[in-house]
């Protein structure tokens, strides 16, 4: 039971829920790879982990770039000898109503949230097949169900759900599971980009009346990553305080 001595790569883990998921996995005995786009934030996250006696290395890479992703996976395997857990967490939201959203914003949202997860999954899966073990965990969003002003983000996250389910079918014979977490509003720096009145309106739609915390998501990541979760596959787990029951 657990993830002791497993090797986990978490994209976008110099911040927010990715960082907390990496921390909790490291505290549970995994060696973790901290990926993000900014060298300084990757270095300080790795330093924070290693100062606590945890096993962590950094890998700066833009996950929407195939070469960078392949380099990151190579670094992981040469440093730790294997890769067991991939958390496709890196993401961003450049939303807006349909009439306003630019093509450039559409492209970057799809490139990071969806294509990035595809590239990372493709780059790691051979190593997982070789070891007959793997856990791919995708961080989508409750917004995959649809959301006003979220055409790009919702499309990207809906694509991620499709990718999750398909990889679950394609890879499960090799001991690899692919599952998805769909968070509601979680207290992370990502929410800083939302105007205060939008955040207030969104919170009003949350049955719990509060934001989720990064540990709410880390708990779900640990569950899917566990050696004993091997028969839980191709699922979407909402961690959203019940918000998924309401449209919009």
Ligand X SMILES: NC(=O)c1ccc[n+]([C@@H]2O[C@H](COP(=O)([O-])OP(=O)(O)OC[C@H]3O[C@@H](n4cnc5c(N)ncnc54)[C@H](O)[C@@H]3O)[C@@H](O)[C@H]2O)c1
> Which residues bind to ligand X, rule: CB under 6 A?
11-12, 14-18, 35-37, 62-64, 89-92, 112, 116, 139, 141, 183, 185-186, 188-191
Question: Residue 238 pairs with which residues in a beta bridge?
Answer: 182
- Complex with ligand X: residue 30 or 69, whichever CB lies closer: 69
Query: Helical H runs in 81-195?
Result: 103-110, 116-131, 151-171
Smallest distance from the beta carbon of 1 to ligand X, in angstroms? 27
163-171 own/partner pairs: CB under 8 Å, 24+ apart: 163/114, 163/117, 163/118, 163/121, 163/138, 164/136, 164/138, 164/140, 164/234, 164/236, 165/234, 167/121, 167/125, 167/136, 167/234, 168/233, 168/234, 168/235, 169/234, 171/125, 171/128, 171/129, 171/134, 171/136
Integer Cα distance of 159 and 64 in angstroms = 15
CA angle 222, 39, 150 (to 5 degrees): 60
Closest distance of CB 21 from ligand X, Å:
9
Least CB distance to ligand X at residue 174 (A): 26
Question: Has 153 been annotated as catalytic?
Answer: yes
Nearer to ligand X by C-beta: 189 or 248? 189
Q: How far is the CB of 132 from ligand X (least distance, A)?
A: 28
CB environment 186-219: b (16+ within 10 A), e (fewer): bebebeeeeeeeeeeebeeebeeeebbebebbbe
Nearer to ligand X, 129 or 191 (CB): 191
CB 161 to ligand X: min, Å: 12
- Choice among 49, 80, 144, 153 that is catalytic: 153
Smaller CB separation from ligand X, 112 or 133: 112
Which residues form the catalytic set? 153
């Amino acid at each position: 039971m657990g993830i002791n001595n497993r090797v986990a790569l978490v994209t976008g883990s110099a911040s927010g829920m990715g960082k907390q998921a990496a921390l909790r996995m490291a505290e549970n005995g995994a060696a973790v790879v901290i990926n993000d786009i900014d060298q300084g934030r990757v270095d300080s996250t790795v330093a924070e982990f290693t100062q606590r006696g945890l096993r962590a290395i950094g890998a700066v890479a833009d996950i929407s770039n195939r070469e960078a992703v392949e380099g990151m996976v190579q670094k992981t395997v040469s440093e730790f000898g294997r890769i067991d857990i991939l958390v496709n967490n890196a993401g961003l939201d450049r939303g807006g109503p349909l009439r306003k959203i630019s093509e450039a914003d559409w492209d970057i949202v799809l490139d990071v949230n969806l294509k990035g997860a595809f590239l990372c999954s493709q780059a790691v899966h051979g190593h997982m097949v070789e070891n007959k073990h793997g856990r791919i965990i995708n961080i989508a969003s409750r917004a995959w169900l649809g959301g006003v002003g979220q055409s790009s983000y919702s499309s990207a996250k809906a694509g991620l759900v499709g990718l999750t389910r398909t990889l679950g079918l394609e890879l499960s014979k090799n001991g690899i599971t692919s599952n998805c977490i769909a968070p509601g509003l979680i207290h992370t720096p990502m929410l800083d980009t939302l105007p205060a009145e939008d955040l207030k309106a969104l919170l009003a739609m949350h049955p719990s009346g509060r934001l989720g915390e990064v540990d709410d998501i880390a708990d779900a990541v640990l569950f899917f990553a566990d050696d004993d979760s091997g028969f839980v596959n191709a699922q979407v787990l909402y961690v959203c305080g019940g918000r998924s029951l309401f449209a919009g």
